[in-house]
Amino acid sequence: MAFFRCRAFLGCMSLKTGVWLLALLAMMVSGPGAAGSWLEVVWMKDHPLTLYGKLTIIIQAAAFSSLFLISILGFIAALQGARGAVYIYSKFIFIHGALILLSLGLTLFGTLTPEKSNPDVEKCVNGSTSTVIVEFCKQRLSIAHILSIALIGAALAIQFYAWIVASSYGEDLDTTSAVDKYFRSETYSDHEARPLSAAYPEAPFARVRR
């Protein structure tokens, strides 16, 4: 995993800033995705899909929900500067990537081949006149499904970059932090130990008494 490392976020900001920004962005993407997915799970009680369709939506809801929870951990850990917790967060993000990839694959395949998700549209609609329910039952390429695919794709991209930034920060590769530590040590190593009175027996620029 040492192939993907960075020393600054977007080339100019610290890795610590990058971790909490990406975690916040992941929450903003996964939150609505989880809410929409669980809403579809509720719809399935009155508007049944095939086993493939049910499995796709449940995995999608689980992927968004778990990403939201993991991102909360990363956000808090980064704000507190806890490198160990951030490194653990990077591992969770890496493992979770498999679930997001699975969800994206199932959603794409089900959208492009709607007969796999729901061959019996009339049974699923169950007399409903709602356009949203009809589109949900058809499981074809619609605005709702395009939005779902876009959210999963965005979550995957954010997750990949978050893994790189978080793991780099956890391994103390933050250039900004290293520079700060260097200047702090150079500034205080020689003068912090001695009081100011010892360095200057008399006040600087003191007026000479005659």
Query: Which H, E and C letters describe the chain, residue by residue?
Result: CCCCCCCCECCCECHHHHHHHHHHHHHHHHHHHHHHHHHHHHHCCCCCCCHHHHHHHHHHHHHHHHHHHHHHHHHHHHHHCCHHHHHHHHHHHHHHHHHHHHHHHHHHHHHHCHHHHCCCHHHHHCCCCCHHHHHHHHCCCCHHHHHHHHHHHHHHHHHHHHHHHHHHHHCCCCHHHHHHHHHHHHHHCCCCCCCHHHHCCCCCCCCCCC
- Predicted pLDDT of residue 159: 93
Instruction: Give the least confident one: 72-76, 86-90, 111-115.
Output: 111-115
Q: Show me where the domains of the chain are located.
A: 15-174
Report the chain's mean pLDDT, rounded to a whole number.
79
Most confident of 45-54, 72-81, 187-196: 72-81
For residue 92, what pLDDT band results from cuts at 50, 70 and 90? very high
**Residues 144-190 pLDDT 10s:** 778 888 999 999 999 999 998 888 887 775 555 555 554 455 554 44
pTM over 0.75: no
In this predicted structure, the answer to whether residue 205 has a pLDDT above a threshold of 60 is no
Mean pLDDT of the 42-61 span = 87
Is 25 or 184 the better-scoring residue by pLDDT? 25
- Predicted pLDDT of residue 13: 78
- Predicted pLDDT of residue 1: 45
In this predicted structure, the answer to whether residue 200 has a pLDDT above a threshold of 90 is no
Is 107 or 140 the better-scoring residue by pLDDT? 107
